[in-house]
Amino acid sequence: MVMGFFDDTEVSVDSEDSNPDIYIFGGYLIPSNQIYALLTEIQKIKASFGLPVWMPIKWNIKDSGISSFIKDYYHLLDERHLDIALTYSDEIRSELLKVLSQFNIKVFISGRYDRHHKEATSKDYSHWAFENLLQRVGIFAQNNKYDLEIEKPVQLIIDWPKPDDKTLFNHYFCGYHFGNGREYKSSYLSGPLKIYGFVESISVSSTI
C-alpha cells in the first residue's frame, strides 16, 4: 500500500495587504511499510533537541496550533518545550529534510501566486491547488514511479477540512471516477485515478 499525506498553507507577501497571496497544497507519498521507520526517525530528531517524542512539530513552528496544544496539555508540556522548538526551528527542519533521503518518499507541491492581489478565498484556493495536486499525483502514478501493481492501493490523507465543507471530497470524486477537474472540467493527462489503484475516497486526519 502507498499512502499520501497532504496539507495546505497560505502565505502573505504583500506588506500592504494581510490577505494571503500564495496558496500551497503539498505533501508526500510513501510506501506504508516504511511509515513506522519514518516515524521512529522523526521521534529521534525530537528527542535530540530535548522535546517529547509525541509533541507535534509543524513546518511553521510559530503556528498558533502548537501553542494552543501546549496550553491544552499543560500538565505534560511546558513553555520551555515551545521555546526550544522556536529557538532551534531551522535546525529541526533541516534534520527533518535529511530524513527524507533515507526513504522512498516522493514530495509534491502545488502552488498558486495571486499576482493580482485579489482577496483570497478558500473556494479559489481549493479549486485550483487541490485539483492540480491530484493531477500531479495521477501523472506520477501513470509513470509507475512506484510498482503500483504490487504496492496498491493508494490512499491519500489530507488535513482536517473546515466543518461541513465537502469541497475537497467532491474534487477527488471527479478525479477518481472521471479523470476530470470538478470546477474547470479539465481532463487529467493520466486519466481517472481509479485505474491506478487509488481508493475511492480521500481520508482526513489531524495531529493538533
pLDDT above 60 (res 46): yes
Q: How far is CA 150 from the centre of its chain?
A: 24
In this predicted structure, the answer to whether residue 122 has a pLDDT above a threshold of 60 is no
Confidence class of residue 126 from pLDDT cuts 50, 70 and 90?
low
Q: What is the pLDDT of residue 74?
A: 63
Going 168 to 172 to 175 to 180, the CA torsion angle's sign is: negative
The Cα-based distances of 77 to 45, 71, 84, 206 in angstroms read 18, 8, 12, 19
In the chain, where do the E strands start and end?
A: 2-11, 22-31, 106-113, 154-159, 203-205
pLDDT at 72: 73
Between 147 and 117, whose confidence is greater? 147
Q: What is the pLDDT of residues 157-184, one digit of tens each?
A: 998 877 777 888 988 999 999 998 876 6
pLDDT band at 156 (very low <50, low <70, confident <90, very high): very high
